[in-house]
Structure 1
């Protein structure tokens, strides 16, 4: 999956208004954390996560691991917050952050 710069920009603008739905702590990657991440991506497609790790290298390594294990694409990261995207053609329009946004703003 490869998104255009325009798509990434649109996703960043949607993501700006989202609250983090998954928090990653010092405990690292657990099965529960991965399940929660995958469920959030399935439901919402575009999600914000917060990495509660102080070291930048640790955050980057954890983020790489989360992205590869979830099949998501990293859209954007700033400090301890990252925006991830994984399409779900069967996503519930009431849950999907993309479909809800399109519903409110029409298609661009």
Structure 2
């Protein structure tokens, strides 16, 4: 579980990222969860965009993605979801220590 301090740190890092996934009319499926998981392993921090034509609520989508990819939900802002998962192979992001 991320602390508030760690979430703030990750939000500042994610600010400059462009979304690499879009959730549209089809919603979240197993294939998308697998791709998100792979992307998180490679990058640790990603943004996902929820399109206007998505049938599901953005909060539902964010929970499904986070749970499916076993990732931490950093933020849902507007139609953007920010996810974080520590990489097993190439760890790059050093989180601030929680007190």
With structure 2 as the length reference, what TM-score do the two structures score? 0.82
**Aligned twin of 1:90:** 89
Q: Supply the RMSD in Å over aligned alpha carbons.
A: 2.5
**Aligned twin of 1:44:** 43
CA distance in structure 2 between the aligned counterparts of 1:88 and 1:30, rounded to whole angstroms: 22
Question: Which runs of 5 or more structure 2 residues have no equivalent in the other structure?
Answer: none
The answer to which structure has the higher helix fraction is: 1
Q: Deviations over 1:50-69 (max 9, x none)?
A: 11145796221121111111
How big is the shift at 1:76? 1.0
Higher relative contact order (CA 8 A, sep 6+): 2
| Largest Rg, 1 or 2 | 1
Q: Is residue 70 from structure 1 mapped to residue 69 from structure 2 by the alignment? A: yes
With structure 1 as the length reference, what TM-score do the two structures score? 0.76
